[in-house]
Structure 1
Amino acid sequence: MLQDEKRTSTYRNAILGNKHLFRGKVVMDVGCGTGILSMFAAQAGAAKIIGIDNSAIIERARKIIKDNNFEDDITLIRGKVEEVSLPEGIENVDIIVSEWMGQALFYESVLSTIIYARDKWLKPGGLIFPDRVALYLAGIEGEEELELSMNCWKDYYGLNMEAMRQWRLFEASIESIIPTRVVTNSCLVKNVDIYRIKEEDLSFTSQIHLQSRTDSLIHGFVLFFEVEFTSCVMRTGFSTSPLAYYTHWNHLTIYFDGKTLNTKKGEELFGSIRINPNSIVRVNIYLYIIQ
C-alpha cells in the first residue's frame, strides 16, 4: 500500500496542504499500520498523535517513528480500537485520520471501527480525514476473462472440480479492469458521509440505472469508489475507477451466471444491488433492459 503513489500522495497532500487544521491538535490514526499518516500529521504540526493498530506491524512502526525522530509526538497503542484507552490526560481528539477503505469500499473495511472511534472520542466539530466516499457500479465486457476463470475447473490436474466453477460464478473477485472493458456509464450505489453514517447503514440495498455506451456484450459488473477530503482548502481526493490512475485496491468484479446481456447503444438497464460488508463477498444483482 505504501507503494500506491496515488493513495499515499493524496493523504499527504490532504494533511500537509492543510497544516492550519492540524497545528496544535490531537490526532488519532485508526489502523495506523506503519505509522505513515501519523508522521504526516506530526509534520503538519499536530501536538499529539495517537496511532492504534491491532496487528504486529505496529512493532515495525515503533522503529520507523523512532528512526524519523517522532517518538515525542506519536504514541502507538497495540489493540482493538473498541478495547484500548487513550493516554493519560487525553480524553478526546480533534481529528481522526484513517485509510479504512476495503474492496468495493465496504468489504473488509474498518468503517465500523471509524464509527466507534468517532462516537467515543471525536470532539464536537472535530474533523475526519477522509470524510466523504462514494461507491459506483458499471457494466463490463469480459468474455475471455470469464471463460479462462470458469473453464479451468473442468479438468483440473485430471480431476473434476466443477463444484468450484459453480461457486465462482456467484462470488466476486478482484481484477485490474482496463478502461476499454467498461461499456456503460457509472451508477452511484452509495454516498457516505463519515460524520453521519451509522452501523446499521453498512448493509443496504440500492437501485441501479445504467446505460450502454455502445453496442456491446455485458458479462458482469465492476465496483469502484471515490474518496474526498472535504475539509481541505483545495478539493482533494482520489478514485479507484478503471478510468482513473491505478491504485492497490484494483477492482471488485461480479460476473453473470453463464449469461450475457447483448445491449445496443443507449439501452437502459435497471435493477438493484445488495451489499453486506465483511460477511460475504457475494453481491446479488438482477437487471432488465428497456429498449
Structure 2
Amino acid sequence: MWSGRCYGGTQSSLFLSASSTVYCYYFAWFSLLLHENASLTSSFLLRGLANFVFELSYGLLFSGVMQHQEDYTSNASKDDQYFDSYADLSVHKVMLCDRPRMDFYKTLLTDRSIVEGKVVVDVGSGSGILSCWAAQSGAAHVLSVEASSLAEVQQQIMSDNGLSDRVTVIASTVEELVAAGVEAFVKEHPCVRDHSGVALVVSEWMGFYLFHECMLRSVIRARDFFRDVNAALQSSVPVSMLPSSGRLLAAPITLHPYYTETFAAFWDSVDGVSLRTLGKLQFEEHIEATSPLVDVIPAPCLLHDGVVLWEGSFDTLAVDDLASIEAERTFDFSTSVTTTSAKASLGATGRFTVDGFTLWFQVSYRDVVLDTSPFAPPTHWKQTTVLLPREFRDDKTVSFHRLDEQLEVTLRLTAEDPVQRCYRIEFELN
C-alpha cells in the first residue's frame, strides 16, 4: 500500500523555490507499508496483473514528509503574510498575463446579460480588473473587497478608468465584514438597499489543485453573508456565484516526456557536445526538490484520461464540505483514449511505468469553462503532480504492459490547520 499516512520514520523538510505566485505551504505525505516477512512477488494493483512487484526479505515501513515553505515565517500571522503576498505586483502581473484566466473572466463579466443592473461583489479583487469589467458592462454597482494594501491603490485605478461612482472599494476581509454584521454593512453601503440586494459574487479564488490557499472558504462565507443581507432587505434576489461550479481531475503519469521536453531538449546537444549527464542530474535535482511538483506537464506524460475526483456547485457548497475530500477511482486502461494513443507510440513491447499522479481543475459558469488540464493552453496554475518516492520510480515498481489492466486509487485531501492555507494530499494504491 502506498499512501499518505505518516506512520513514523524519517522526516525530510525541503525548500521549494518556485514561481513568485506561490506563497503558501505544500504537504505531500507518502508511506509504503509492507507486512512482516514480505519476501514477496506481489501484485498490489490490480486486476490484470500489472507489475507492482517487490522482492523483499524483511518488513519495511517507509514514510516521509515533503514540505514546501516559501515566504511564511513562524512568528507572524499567516493571514497577514498571505494578504501581504498579494500586494506584490509581480504576482498580479503573472495573473494578468494568464490569457486563459483573463479570457474566462472577461468573456463573462463583459456579458451584459450577466451583470447589467446588478450589484456585483468582487471578493479578493486584487488589481480590480474584474470589478472594472463588471462596472463597464452595466453593473448597477460593484463592491470590490480587497484585504491587501492594494485596496488603497484601487481607488486611483477606479478614478483612472472613470469608475469611482460605480465601484466602491472595501478594504477588508470577508470575515471582518461578517463580524461587523448585516445591519452595519447595509448602513455603510446603501447602494445594496437601493438596488434590492446583491445578485452576483465573483472571485478568482482558485489555487493549485483548485483548493490550495483555502480562499474558497472566504468566498462561501461572502455568499452566505450577502444572502443574509438580501433577506434582511426582504429582497427575493438570489445570490449567484461566478464561477458557479468546479471539478478536480487526476491522471497517472510517466515523467519521461517531461524530462525529454523540459531538460533533454537543451542538454542533449549543446553546440555539438552531449551534456546529457548534466541534464539528468538537473532533472533529478529538480524532481527531488519539488514534490509536489508544480509545473506544466506535457500531455504525452498522461497514461490515462483525466478522472473526476471531485465536482460541486459553488452555489450550494458549504464551508464544512471543504474539510476533507476522499475519492476512490479506478483507472481502466482498456477504455482510456490516452492509454491507447500512448501504447501505439511505445510499440508492441512498450511498458508503462507510473511515476505519480497529476492534478488539475476546471471551473465554469453557464457554458464558459476555464480548463487547466495538460491538454489545454497553459495557465499560471500549471498542474500539481504528486510523485512516488524515488526508489519506486527508479525500480519501475508501478508498471503494466497490457491495455486490459486497472489501477485502483484512493485520493484524500485533508485540510491542515486552516491558518496554514493548505491541504495534505494523499494517494493510496489499493
Measured against the shorter chain, the TM-score band is 0.7 to 0.9
Q: What amino acid is the match of 2:428?
A: Y
C-alpha deviations, 1:190-217, integer Å up to 9, x for none? 0020011111111221112213413411
- How many angstroms apart in 2 are the aligned matches of 1:152 and 1:44? 49
Kept in 2, the 8 Å contact 1:185–1:211? The answer is no
| Residue range with higher mean Cα deviation, 40-49 or 83-92 | 83-92
Residues 13-162 of structure 1 aligned to structure 2 (within 5 Å): 13-17=107-111, 19-84=112-177, 86=185, 87-89=188-190, 90=192, 92-122=197-227, 123=230, 125-142=238-255, 151-152=284-285
C-alpha deviation, 1:263, in angstroms: 1.9
- How many angstroms apart in 2 are the aligned matches of 1:148 and 1:132? 42
Tell me the residue number matched to 2:233. none
Structure 1 residue corresponding to 2:353, chosen from 206, 217, 231: 217
- How many angstroms apart in 2 are the aligned matches of 1:88 and 1:37? 20
Kept in 1, the 8 Å contact 2:226–2:239? The answer is no
Q: What amino acid is the match of 1:82?
A: E
C-alpha deviations, 1:69-88, integer Å up to 9, x for none? 11110011112111036333
C-alpha deviation, 1:151, in angstroms: 4.6
- How many angstroms apart in 1 are the aligned matches of 2:297 and 2:150? 30
C-alpha deviation, 1:148, in angstroms: 5.2
| Residue range with higher mean Cα deviation, 69-78 or 115-124 | 115-124
| Residue range with higher mean Cα deviation, 54-63 or 277-286 | 277-286
- How many angstroms apart in 2 are the aligned matches of 1:101 and 1:26? 23
- How many angstroms apart in 2 are the aligned matches of 1:266 and 1:63? 61
Tell me the residue number matched to 2:406. 268
Q: What amino acid is the match of 2:298?
A: I
Alpha-carbon distance change, 118 to 281 in structure 1, aligned in 2, over 3 angstroms: closer
Tell me the residue number matched to 2:97. 3
Kept in 2, the 8 Å contact 1:142–1:181? The answer is yes
Alpha-carbon distance change, 286 to 71 in structure 1, aligned in 2, over 3 angstroms: same
- How many angstroms apart in 2 are the aligned matches of 1:20 and 1:152? 51
Kept in 1, the 8 Å contact 2:200–2:242? The answer is yes
Q: How many residues are treated as equivalent by the alignment?
A: 270
Tell me the residue number matched to 1:159. none
Residues 141-290 of structure 1 aligned to structure 2 (within 5 Å): 141-142=254-255, 151-152=284-285, 171-202=291-322, 203-212=324-333, 213=339, 214=343, 215-230=351-366, 235-258=367-390, 259=392, 260=396, 261-264=398-401, 265-277=403-415, 279=420, 280-288=422-430
- How many angstroms apart in 2 are the aligned matches of 1:239 and 1:222? 14
Give TM-score, length-normalised by structure 2. Answer: 0.59
C-alpha deviation, 1:62, in angstroms: 2.1
Kept in 2, the 8 Å contact 1:103–1:109? The answer is no
Gaps of at least 5 residues in structure 1 are 154-163
- How many angstroms apart in 1 are the aligned matches of 2:404 and 2:131? 48
State which structure, 1 or 2, has the greater radius of gyration over its C-alpha atoms.
2
- How many angstroms apart in 1 are the aligned matches of 2:166 and 2:248? 35
C-alpha deviations, 1:139-177, integer Å up to 9, x for none? 111157597578539xxxxxxxxxx95xx68x4221110
- How many angstroms apart in 1 are the aligned matches of 2:238 and 2:166? 23
Kept in 1, the 8 Å contact 2:411–2:425? The answer is yes
More strand by share: 1
Tell me the residue number matched to 1:158. none
Alpha-carbon distance change, 33 to 237 in structure 1, aligned in 2, over 3 angstroms: same
Kept in 1, the 8 Å contact 2:123–2:201? The answer is yes
Kept in 2, the 8 Å contact 1:50–1:74? The answer is yes
- How many angstroms apart in 1 are the aligned matches of 2:249 and 2:99? 22
Cα RMSD over matched residues?
2.3
Give TM-score, length-normalised by structure 1. Answer: 0.85
- How many angstroms apart in 1 are the aligned matches of 2:175 and 2:424? 28
C-alpha deviation, 1:128, in angstroms: 1.1
Kept in 2, the 8 Å contact 1:132–1:193? The answer is yes
Alpha-carbon distance change, 75 to 119 in structure 1, aligned in 2, over 3 angstroms: same
- How many angstroms apart in 1 are the aligned matches of 2:284 and 2:423? 21
C-alpha deviation, 1:268, in angstroms: 1.2
C-alpha deviation, 1:27, in angstroms: 0.6
C-alpha deviation, 1:284, in angstroms: 1.3
- How many angstroms apart in 1 are the aligned matches of 2:426 and 2:165? 50
